[in-house]
Structure 1
Amino acid sequence: MLALIVPLITAVAYLMAALRLACFKRDGARYRRGMSLLASLLGASMAISGLEILLYRPPVSIWHGVTACLLCLLIFRSRGNVAALLRPST
């Protein structure tokens, strides 16, 4: 049972995070080409990873799932802003 749930949760976390990155609105924030490129690459790689898990069913460890869920949580917490993710907190 766990062998079916962990890949599903991992794939959903990847796809949700990629969707959140794709739906980011700047709302007056400064446009930076490097951050935009990084966000696009991160979103694309997460979407591809999620689809790969769903379609090809590679082995997924529980730690892979935990990492995907934590990354998804961080992306949702920063509201999809990659620059805010990388900015050191004071």
Structure 2
Amino acid sequence: MFANLMPLLAAVAYIASAMRLLCFQRNGGRIRRGISLIACLLIAALLCAGLEILLYKPPVSLWQTAIAVLLFILCYRSRGNLAALLRPNL
């Protein structure tokens, strides 16, 4: 049962992270073309990774699931703001 839970958890974390990034509202913030391009590529990669796990059912390790969940947590803590994720806080 645990072996079936890890791929599902990783896929849901990837797709939820992509959706959080996709639903980001800038609320008057300026548009940065480079960050927008990186965000689009990251959203596409996350959606593809999640769908690949759901459709093709490749083996997913515990570490891949952990990375997916940690990325999910980071995306939600930054409220989908990729610039805030990439900004160093000194």
TM range (shorter): over 0.9
Aligned identity (percent) is 58
CA drift of 1:30 comes to: 1.1
Aligned to 2:61: 61
CA drift of 1:18 comes to: 0.4
Aligned to 1:7: 7
Aligned to 1:24: 24
CA drift of 1:60 comes to: 0.3
- 2:7 and 2:26 map into 1 onto residues whose CA distance is 32
CA RMSD across the alignment? 0.5
CA drift of 1:57 comes to: 0.2
Moved over 4 A (4+): none
1:31-61 deviations in Å (ceiling 9; x for gaps): 0000000001001100010000000000100
For this pair of structures, how many residues does the alignment match?
Answer: 90
Unaligned runs of 5+ in 1: none
CA drift of 1:2 comes to: 1.2
Unaligned runs of 5+ in 2: none
- 1:11 and 1:29 map into 2 onto residues whose CA distance is 31
CA drift of 1:6 comes to: 0.2
